[in-house]
Structure 1
């Protein structure tokens, strides 16, 4: 059974903030220079080196402000209510958390999570079964990482993305094939780590120069 971000067990994970700064990803990983925690940036740099020739990572989003997170929650809550008239509060929270995390446990707010896909050498995004950020309603469930409706090349691309990111320590949120994190509460509970490493962080002080270490835990 899928562990959702609204599950009380995720909120119960203790936090041992490690103080890693937010850093801007390189343009080769993220044309928008998305900010993420240092450990996340280092692992993304390592992951891209594991890809076969002709495949490249493309990070669409990293750190997100608390205000942005809450705005996304509000918009998607309205969409879920429209698709599920009469839904109760508990079920609503569960349904919403398939696509957007509660603000207090959100990996994007802590700089721990990235929305990432694959592109080719010309910068064209590859087929992974549905658009990045497509909701369960919009995608007919194909946003779920292991959706049986995703086959062929799209399935192979998802598998490749999962292999290289998993190899360097990221965990996937299984209702969103594009959402991967390291250091947040969901990562901790999924891997058995004793605590999360990253809590909510502001975006005022982003370090723009990163020396990528090959020696990451």
Structure 2
């Protein structure tokens, strides 16, 4: 984990009132800039990739890792910031651009779990709960699912030995502990496992590079899409739905 010297320099992750999160981001205008998707595998020695959903045999999952070209430029900036703090650290990307079939599979699977956990809830209530962690599949050019734009990326940090830092949950752990600011709570002050500082490190390097974080998921960051435009209060997004050429 980062040394104590670095720990003191990391600002706390801002508290986010999750009850205020709504689908208003879908109404943010998009002025598509037609930035191409590029496969980022093997493009940078400190940006690694594991095809998580393909490994888990999710329907439609791919082995390639596509992001918008300008997002990749931002990711390189984030690597530089990370390695200015921890020279031997690197990124591990879990997922980025996502086909609609994968988005549908993930949404359906998690909604099934939600329905089983909350049998008294209506279909609409289960959909609303599901959307806290998995966006409703959409290729609507006015309100596409974030990953379908190529402007979302799921990632973590690897230490000098190539091991993922302890972030308190696994990737795609759909629990309250996955909320980015969870360990900033006063009830979680004892950071003996380094979870709080590790999350602060990831949040700091990504936001300094120009990304926004989806507050329900410590691993999810955005640039250029409606999530990003809404959270960073930009007048418009510039990534709409896209596909590899």
Under TM normalisation by the shorter chain, which class is it? Answer: 0.7 to 0.9
Per the alignment, residue 215 of structure 1 pairs with none
- Once the two structures are superposed, residues 50-89 of structure 1 have per-residue CA deviations (whole angstroms, 9 ceiling, x without a partner) of 1122321111111000111011100000011111112124
- Cα drift, residue 25 of structure 1: 1.5
**Which of 66, 77, 80 in structure 2 is aligned with 1:35?**
66
Distance of 1:150 and 1:48 partners within structure 2: 28
CA contact (8 A) 1:129 1:150 kept: no
- Cα drift, residue 40 of structure 1: 1.0
Matched, 1:188 2:232: no
Bigger fraction of residues in helix: 2
**Which of 75, 81, 93 in structure 2 is aligned with 1:44?**
75
Deviates more, 1:62-71 or 1:144-153: 144-153
TM-score, normalised via structure 2 length = 0.76
Matched, 1:147 2:162: no
- Cα drift, residue 168 of structure 1: 1.1
Q: Structure 1 stretches of 5 or more lacking a match?
A: 206-217
Which consecutive segments of 4 or more residues in structure 1 shift more than 4 A?
Answer: none
Distance change in 2, residues 1:44/1:191 (3 Å): same
TM-score, normalised via structure 1 length = 0.85
SS at match of 1:103: coil
Q: How does 1:19-34 map to 2 (within 5 A)?
A: 19-27=34-42, 28=45, 29-32=47-50, 34=65
Q: Give me the CA root mean square deviation.
A: 1.7
Distance of 2:156 and 2:224 partners within structure 1: 20
Distance of 1:135 and 1:151 partners within structure 2: 23
- Count of residue pairs brought into register by the alignment: 198
Structure having the higher Rg: 2
Per the alignment, residue 119 of structure 2 pairs with 85
SS at match of 2:238: coil
Distance of 2:116 and 2:124 partners within structure 1: 16
Per the alignment, residue 61 of structure 2 pairs with none
Distance of 1:202 and 1:30 partners within structure 2: 22
Per the alignment, residue 12 of structure 2 pairs with none
Distance of 1:123 and 1:150 partners within structure 2: 27
**Which of 75, 82, 90 in structure 1 is aligned with 2:109?**
75
Distance of 1:122 and 1:150 partners within structure 2: 27
Distance of 2:161 and 2:94 partners within structure 1: 17
Per the alignment, residue 208 of structure 1 pairs with none
Distance of 2:135 and 2:87 partners within structure 1: 34
